[in-house]
Amino acid sequence: MSKYQTIDGMSYALEQEKGRKKRSKWIIIGCVVGLLVLAAIGTAVGVVVSKNNSKSSSSSSSSSNSGKGSNSGNSTTGGKPGDPSNFTKDPALHQAFYGMAYTPEGALIEFGCTNTLENTIRDIQLISQLTKRIRLYGADCNQTAQVLEAIVQTDVDMEVFVGIYVVADDHDAYLRQRDLITGAIETYGTKHIAGVTVGNEFMLNVTDVNSGVGLEGAAILLADIEDTKQMLAGMNLDKHIPVGNSDAGSFFATSVLEAVEYGLSNVHAWFANTTAAGAAPWVFDFFQESNLTPAAALPNKPAMYIAETGWPTKSSDAANANNGGSDASEANLQVFLDTFVCQANDQGVHYFFFEMFDEEWKDIKFGGVEGWWGLFNKDRTLKNVKIPDCISP
Ligand SMILES: *[C@@H]1O[C@H](CO)[C@@H](O)[C@H](O)[C@H]1NC(C)=O
Ligand SMILES: *[C@@H]1O[C@H](CO)[C@@H](O)[C@H](O)[C@H]1NC(C)=O
Ligand SMILES: *[C@@H]1O[C@H](CO)[C@@H](O)[C@H](O)[C@H]1NC(C)=O
Ligand SMILES: *[C@@H]1O[C@H](CO)[C@@H](O)[C@H](O)[C@H]1NC(C)=O
Ligand SMILES: *[C@@H]1O[C@H](CO)[C@@H](O)[C@H](O)[C@H]1NC(C)=O
């Protein structure tokens, strides 16, 4: 949900400019409050609008009813066109990435849960050629089970940081997703589960995560984190599954980090208005200063990962086509790929590249660059970029 990272960049800039431009603080606060609404809607997600058949987004509304007939004639559960583990590898792809941010297409309650196992299998076949790790944002629409089933059917080496998004005034959303994850672990075991992330960008509506409403928000997160830990402990699993939290880079409450084993931090140079060439150095510096160093100083020393970092390839409006430093473009995504990926691998920085596919629902809802962060287009073709020439550990 890159939109919310706007805050990230803004607050970073704010820190830099502190005292110089007090007025900008109020702009930022205004944005934070405004984005609360988006956070409630968008975060509530984990996901995407459907879109299956439509290459042209033309024929507006009425369903292309994606469940059926997209890839193979055999849709929905059960249909197994051939052996999903026998798929053609693309020579342009190799496992350069530590991890990848992934949202199954259509796994959004608001849009009717149009995600299908077939499409998820197709995606896992592609993603597995780039990385051994993915992170999900939520658990609705049975996406956790579908991803795990797809990993089993494709027989790929892949671990998943599954996710539960937390919404302040909707505890049922937490419970529903927790139970879906419980069910998925009961069915598929722990083999492919790397962690359970509770909360995504939950604290983005607060200006100081360690006081006032920040503490109220942290209390909600802490209760859900504790509940997830108890759920896992109660399952008597054969391996320990860590529980973590995800937020924009400047929005981790200390009490939350002290309660988790890992933090997933969004670090977006685009929203900090860097140039494309300056993006990777900015990301490394920001992550070190704002996340790695503070986390290492805590008694529990939570592992920190970059949850999202990337570069958009276009904007749906002219106003957002340039961030003040560089354009949103495939050429600049290539610059970021070439200066971040292998360097992060070498430095032992753990990251989830943002993101695998363009997400049409974000473009529809938010416009600007929101829908255009994919390495792949929404039709699952690789953009005009070259995957960096290294293999991630
Ligand atoms: C980046 O540029 C945009 C557009 O000029 C501006 O609104 C925003 O405050 C800037 N952000 C930062 C972090 O400088
Ligand atoms: C769908 O599955 C059925 C039974 O598994 C098979 O007979 C049929 O050929 C499949 N259709 C397509 C289009 O793959
Ligand atoms: C894999 O698929 C190809 C093409 O569909 C087929 O020729 C080949 O026999 C399959 N291999 C196995 C082991 O099933
Ligand atoms: C969830 O997905 C799994 C894997 O595809 C499937 O076996 C199961 O029936 C699905 N559950 C529901 C309620 O759709
Ligand atoms: C921010 O969210 C927290 C919990 O998510 C909530 O308690 C608080 O009222 C929100 N603050 C504002 C200013 O909306």
Please report the atom of ligand 4 found closest to the CA of residue 142.
1
Q: Whose CA is nearest to atom 13 of ligand 2?
A: 73
What pLDDT does 111 receive? 86
Ligand 4 shell residues, CB under 6 Å = 77, 117, 142, 145-146, 149
Q: What percent of the chain has pLDDT over 70?
A: 79
The per-residue pLDDT for range 322-337, each reduced to its tens digit, is 999 999 999 999 999 9
Q: Whose CA is nearest to atom 6 of ligand 5?
A: 217
Separation of alpha carbons 139 and 160, rounded Å? 12
What is the identity of the amino acid at 187?
T
Closest residue by Cα to residue 392 from 348, 337, 338, 355: 348
The per-residue pLDDT for range 114-123, each reduced to its tens digit, is 999 999 999 9
Please report the atom of ligand 5 found closest to the CA of residue 168.
5
Residue 182 pLDDT level (bands cut at 50, 70, 90): very high
Domain boundaries, the chain: 7-366
Closest residue by Cα to residue 46 from 166, 160, 223, 127: 166
Contact in structure between 7 and 248 (CB atoms under 8 Å): yes
Task: Say yes or no: CB of residue 79 within 6 Å of ligand 2.
Answer: yes
Q: What is the DSSP letter of 263?
A: E
Contact in structure between 99 and 350 (CB atoms under 8 Å): yes
CA of 272 to the centre of ligand 1 (A): 7
Q: What does the mean pLDDT of the chain come to? A: 84
DSSP symbols for 191-227: TTEEEEEEEESGGGG-S-TTSTHHHHHHHHHHHHHHH
Please report the atom of ligand 1 found closest to the CA of residue 28.
9
What pLDDT does 72 receive? 35
Residue of 83, 86, 155 with the most ligand 3 atoms within 8 Å of its CB, for mutation: 86
Separation of alpha carbons 212 and 192, rounded Å? 38
Separation of alpha carbons 46 and 1, rounded Å? 9
Task: Say yes or no: CB of residue 213 within 6 Å of ligand 5.
Answer: yes
Distances 229 to 176, 177, 243, 302 between C-alpha atoms, Å? 16, 14, 7, 15
Contact in structure between 272 and 282 (CB atoms under 8 Å): yes
CA of 213 to the centre of ligand 5 (A): 6
Does the bond joining 105 to the residue before it have cis omega, within 30 degrees of 0? no
Contacts of 14 (CB under 8 A, 6+ apart): 24, 25, 28
What pLDDT does 56 receive? 30
Higher-confidence residue: 19 or 327?
Answer: 327
Residue of 29, 32, 36, 206 with the most ligand 5 atoms within 8 Å of its CB, for mutation: 206
What is the identity of the amino acid at 10?
M
Task: Say yes or no: CB of residue 86 within 6 Å of ligand 3.
Answer: yes
pTM score of the predicted model:
0.80
Phi and psi at 215, nearest 5°, equal: -70, -35
pLDDT at 306 over 90: yes
Summarize the confidence of residues 76-91 as an average pLDDT: 76
Summarize the confidence of residues 32-51 as an average pLDDT: 35
CA of 1 to the centre of ligand 1 (A): 18
Task: Say yes or no: CB of residue 390 within 6 Å of ligand 5.
Answer: no
Q: Which CATH superfamily is domain 7-366 in?
A: Glycosidases (3.20.20.80)
Higher-confidence residue: 322 or 79?
Answer: 322
The per-residue pLDDT for range 225-258, each reduced to its tens digit, is 999 999 999 999 999 999 999 999 999 999 999 9
Q: Whose CA is nearest to atom 10 of ligand 3?
A: 86
Task: Say yes or no: CB of residue 90 within 6 Å of ligand 3.
Answer: no
